[in-house]
């Protein structure tokens, strides 16, 4: 049976972590345990289970062996004591916030976080009497100024979406300890290949496992990772809230994670190459990629990240229509939301994510008509660059 240690590399851990137990039929691949409930051989076994002397399954909403393998693998990749899978990234974050916050409390979220997360915090949480402040990412002074007597939680993405600001994790943890706050980082864009927030003292890390962790645009799941006691409390809440991951999804996630480290190497390579190419192009106004020295978060990113991922946001020197024409002229990426899969995906946020807003509302949020978010896949680097070059020639 392979033995995995914390000193081994990311690829070794992605392949073997969480799979050290004996399997039915001695299968190499983790089986899909397609069951909704689990049997007890007799009443005494039931009593032993209820009194904590026996660890086993009881009912599908409280756990599944295939899901547990995925959770153990993700925990080891994230340097966490435990991890908990959810039905989606949004399910993970909404369930978390509803579980740990109560009426009369206050949380802080950084701007440029995922739009649906901000909508949940600014809309639904407020209905439950929970106050929310939005502050600029990377501005420790603004974060500290927003802290109130009833503040309990600080939440940020790092890197953020779509401008890829990177939060100074050490500064965040220092502030949180000073004021007794819990800290949560959505590390979806970074992945546990490029960044380990828990190593800096962050309390919980969240991922949309739909993205880089699954890696093939064929599943939806979310994960929270942290210390065992916090995950145990959230697991108890999940049994009530019900946002579980099914065994088929967990199997796909485990299979996708086998090549996680290899995929991330190519995502990192392609992201950096595309960002450097775009920055040098005369018809591109701005490029947002933390691997570039021109990005405002470059120093922080360089200090705390291994690589910078496969998402590159940029603004071309053109109108809304010209930007759409550029996207339509590309041959490799699919026009679609999401990111982190082996296939390149591209979107014009003004149309894909903010279409219902008036132009002035989009501008207020920093979403210009010519903004493009390119989530590069693992295609050959030169093919991606030549495709972009030809599309820019045609449309600008």
Model pLDDT, residue 5 = 55
Has 82 been annotated as catalytic? no
Mean predicted confidence (pLDDT) in 139-167: 95
Model pLDDT, residue 18 = 86
The pLDDT of residue 22 is above 80: no
The pLDDT of residue 279 is above 90: yes
Has 186 been annotated as catalytic? yes
The pLDDT of residue 126 is above 70: yes
The pLDDT of residue 218 is above 70: yes
The pLDDT of residue 167 is above 80: yes
Which is more confident, 255 or 16?
Answer: 255
Q: Which domains does the chain have, with CATH numbers?
A: 10-257 (3.40.640.10), 260-395 (3.90.1150.10)
Q: How confident is the model at residue 140 (pLDDT cuts 50, 70, 90)?
A: confident
Which is more confident, 359 or 233?
Answer: 233
Model pLDDT, residue 26 = 81
Mean model confidence pLDDT for the chain: 94
Two tokens, residue 288: 């947002």
The pLDDT of residue 135 is above 80: yes
Give the E-state strand segments of the chain in sequence order: 82-86, 106-110, 131-135, 151-157, 182-186, 204-208, 222-226, 284-288, 311-316, 334-335, 345-347, 371-375
324-354 pLDDT, tens digit each: 999 999 999 999 999 999 999 999 999 988 8
Q: How confident is the model at residue 368 (pLDDT cuts 50, 70, 90)?
A: confident
Q: How confident is the model at residue 366 (pLDDT cuts 50, 70, 90)?
A: confident
Mean predicted confidence (pLDDT) in 160-188: 96
Radius of gyration of the chain (CA): 22
Catalytic residue, candidates 186, 193, 277, 288: 186
The pLDDT of residue 374 is above 50: yes
Model pLDDT, residue 7 = 72
CB atoms within 10 A of CB 290: 29
The pLDDT of residue 175 is above 80: yes
Model pLDDT, residue 213 = 98
> What does the alpha-carbon distance between residue 320 and residue 69 come to, in Å, rounded to a whole number?
46
Distance between first and last Cα of the chain:
58
Are the C-beta atoms of residues 185 and 197 closer than 8 Å to each other? yes
245-272 pLDDT, tens digit each: 999 999 999 999 999 999 999 999 999 9
The pLDDT of residue 364 is above 50: yes
Catalytic residue, candidates 211, 263, 362, 373: 211
Has 61 been annotated as catalytic? yes
| 287 CB-near residues (< 8 Å, 6+ apart) | 275, 278, 279, 294, 295, 312, 313, 314
Which is more confident, 359 or 156?
Answer: 156
Mean predicted confidence (pLDDT) in 289-295: 98
Q: How confident is the model at residue 2 (pLDDT cuts 50, 70, 90)?
A: very low
Catalytic residue, candidates 61, 276, 283, 306: 61
Catalytic residue, candidates 33, 73, 112, 114: 114
């Amino acid at each position: 049976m392979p033995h995995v240690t914390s000193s081994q590399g990311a690829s070794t851990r992605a392949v073997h972590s969480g799979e050290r137990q004996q399997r039915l039929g001695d299968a190499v691949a983790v089986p899909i345990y397609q069951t909704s409930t689990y049997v007890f051989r007799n009443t005494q076994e039931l009593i032993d289970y209820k009194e904590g002397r026996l660890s086993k399954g009881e009912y599908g909403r409280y756990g599944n062996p295939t899901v547990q393998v995925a959770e153990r693998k993700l925990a080891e990749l994230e340097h966490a004591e435990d991890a908990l899978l959810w039905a989606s990234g949004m399910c993970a974050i909404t369930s978390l916030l509803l579980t740990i916050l109560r009426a009369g409390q206050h949380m802080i979220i950084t701007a440029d976080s995922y739009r649906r997360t901000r909508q949940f915090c600014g809309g639904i949480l407020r209905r439950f009497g929970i106050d929310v402040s939005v502050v600029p990412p990377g501005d420790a002074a603004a974060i500290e100024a927003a802290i109130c007597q009833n503040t309990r939680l600080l939440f940020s993405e790092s890197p953020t979406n779509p401008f890829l600001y990177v939060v100074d994790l050490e500064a965040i943890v220092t502030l949180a300890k000073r004021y007794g706050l819990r800290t949560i980082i959505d590390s979806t864009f970074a992945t546990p290949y490029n960044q380990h927030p828990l190593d800096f003292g962050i309390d919980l890390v969240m991922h949309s496992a739909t993205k880089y962790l699954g890696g093939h645009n064929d599943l939806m799941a979310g994960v929270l990772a942290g210390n065992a006691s916090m995950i145990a409390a959230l697991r108890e809440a999940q049994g009530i809230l019900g946002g579980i991951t099914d065994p088929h999804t967990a199997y796909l996630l485990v299979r996708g994670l086998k090549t996680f480290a290899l995929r991330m190497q190519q995502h990192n390579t392609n992201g950096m190459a595309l960002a450097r190419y775009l920055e040098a192009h005369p018809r591109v106004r701005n490029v947002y990629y933390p691997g570039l020295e021109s990005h405002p978060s470059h120093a922080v990113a360089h200090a705390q990240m291994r690589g910078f991922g496969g998402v590159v946001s940029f603004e071309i020197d053109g109108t809304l229509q010209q930007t759409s024409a550029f996207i339509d002229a590309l041959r490799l990426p699919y026009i679609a939301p999401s990111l982190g899969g082996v296939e390149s995906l591209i979107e014009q946020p003004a149309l894909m994510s903010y279409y219902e807003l008036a132009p002035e509302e989009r501008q207020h949020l920093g979403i210009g008509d010519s903004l493009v978010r390119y989530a590069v896949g693992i295609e050959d680097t030169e093919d991606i660059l030549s495709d972009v070059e030809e599309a820019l020639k045609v449309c600008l």
